[in-house]
């Protein structure tokens, strides 16, 4: 069974790696496709799985790494939900963990941010500025 961490802080419980892609200056806004590429670039945690599988829904993007899943709320606004700001996505992730963890603690683990280091690298739950 995979564990799910929510992101919008983003979720995850991975301890390795920085994004090998483009390095950004601190003043540049990070778009979600850059965040998605970062997550997609992480190594799969299952030797039988080639790469990370991406699943797109209307409100989320889920990345399956083998034993783990990363779920990122899309920057969208519908009549029935609003994830249009980082603060709204963060709150939705925290609420999702709060509601689901008591019933499936082995799956719903935590909400952690995707951050940008002072050097411009994206990291999961790093010391830099939260960007997703």
Q: By residue range, what is the domain housing residue 44?
A: 3-130
Residue 53, C-beta contacts closer than 8 angstroms, at least 6 positions apart = 63, 64
Tell me the pLDDT band of 29, cut-offs 50, 70 and 90: low
Nearest to 16 by CA among 39, 34, 35: 39
Domain count along the chain? 1
**Residue 19 pLDDT:** 39
pTM of structure: 0.77
Structure tokens at 41: 């670039």
75 within 8 A of 88, measured Cβ to Cβ: no
74 within 8 A of 51, measured Cβ to Cβ: no
Tell me the pLDDT band of 50, cut-offs 50, 70 and 90: confident
CA atoms within a 13 Å half-sphere pointing along the CA-CB vector of 27:
0
pLDDT (tens digit per residue) in 73-118 = 999 999 999 999 999 999 999 999 999 999 999 999 999 999 999 9
């Amino acid at each position: 069974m995979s564990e799910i961490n929510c992101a919008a802080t983003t979720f995850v419980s991975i301890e390795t790696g920085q994004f090998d892609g483009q390095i950004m200056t601190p003043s540049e806004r990070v778009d979600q496709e850059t965040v998605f590429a970062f997550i997609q670039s992480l190594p799969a945690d299952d030797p039988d799985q080639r790469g990370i599988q991406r699943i797109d829904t209307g409100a989320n993007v889920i990345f399956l790494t083998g034993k783990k899943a990363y779920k990122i709320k899309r920057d969208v606004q519908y009549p029935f939900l609003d994830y249009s700001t980082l603060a709204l996505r963060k709150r939705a992730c925290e609420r999702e963990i709060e509601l689901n963890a008591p019933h499936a603690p082995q799956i719903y683990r935590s909400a952690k941010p995707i951050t940008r280091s002072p050097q411009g690298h994206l990291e999961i739950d790093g010391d830099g500025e939260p960007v997703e």
